[in-house]
Amino acid sequence: MYNYDDVQKIKANLEWIVHQASARSHLRTEHDQLVISDLMELIQTYETLLDLVSKFGASVLNSEIIAGLSITEEFIAKVKRNEGAM
């Protein structure tokens, strides 16, 4: 089961990915820019989720959200294995 700290860690990893991708601004394609924009939107969603978990506890993490967290962790692992995966 996920908790506040787990969600915070996932959000921090997404921020790291965006930072790494943004640091290579001269190498970005239009597709890369769209991916970065989508990741920034996902980070905002995680901020909202963190607020909800903080206010109401981990019970707000239903099965669909848990599945999304798991998929996001898999994505992060792939990117960290191969920074060019984006």
List pLDDT tens digits, range 10-51: 999 999 999 988 887 676 788 888 989 999 999 999 999 999
Q: Which two tokens stand for residue 58?
A: 């981990």
CA atoms within 13 A on the CB side of 58: 10
pTM for the model stands at 0.87
Residue ranges of domains in the chain = 4-85
Q: Which positions ≥6 away from 21 have C-beta within 8 Å? A: 28, 32, 35, 36, 39, 86
Query: Which value, in Å, is the radius of gyration of the alpha carbons in the chain?
Result: 14
Alpha helices in 2-86 (DSSP H): 4-23, 30-56, 63-81
